[in-house]
């Protein structure tokens, strides 16, 4: 899994930096975007194994971007994990309905976050993208 590409789509600079530092320390190649337009631009030059998708983005939200990516034949195989700080009842179901392969709430646990990401990528390589 070392060297796998991960794209973090996150508009909160603190959340973005923490996730990037933790994943980079695990050996992942981490790319970042602060909104949907930047994410689409990054995806023209790399094909990540996983996207950490903030649901509350300025402009096009994370659910709409996920729907767009999952309908694109070039991106539909990318594991997309929804992340939100404003978890409401039904949000996980909405994320799954939009095409997200997983769901995480913020703030992340520094101790367990890298392992959770590794599990998502491992499931992908085994042909199963849904992780609890």
- Confidence (pLDDT) at 132: 45
- Confidence (pLDDT) at 131: 45
pLDDT at 127 over 90: no
Tens of pLDDT along 22-70?
999 999 999 999 999 999 999 999 999 999 999 999 999 999 999 999 9
HEC profile for the chain? Answer: CCCCEEEEECCCHHHHHHHHHHHHHCCCEEEEECCHHHHHHHCCCCCCCEEEEECCCCCCCHHHHHHHHHCCCCCCCCEEEEEECCCCCCHHHHHHHHCCCEEEECCCCCCCHHHHHHHHHHHHHCCCCCCC
pLDDT at 113 over 60: yes
Domains of the chain: 5-125 (3.40.50.2300)
Give pTM, 2 decimals: 0.91
């Amino acid at each position: 899994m070392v060297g796998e590409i991960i794209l973090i789509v996150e508009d909160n600079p603190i959340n973005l930096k923490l996730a990037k530092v933790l994943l980079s320390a695990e050996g992942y190649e981490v790319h970042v975007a602060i909104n949907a337009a930047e994410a689409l631009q990054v995806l023209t030059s790399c094909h990540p194994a996983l996207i950490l998708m903030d649901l509350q983005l300025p402009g096009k939200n994370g659910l709409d971007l996920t729907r767009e990516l999952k309908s694109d034949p070039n991106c539909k195989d990318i594991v997309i994990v929804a992340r939100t700080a404003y978890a409401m009842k039904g949000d996980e179901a909405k994320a799954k309905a939009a095409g997200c392969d997983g769901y995480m709430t913020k703030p992340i646990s520094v101790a367990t976050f890298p392992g959770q990401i590794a599990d998502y990528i491992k499931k992908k390589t085994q042909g199963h993208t849904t992780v609890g």
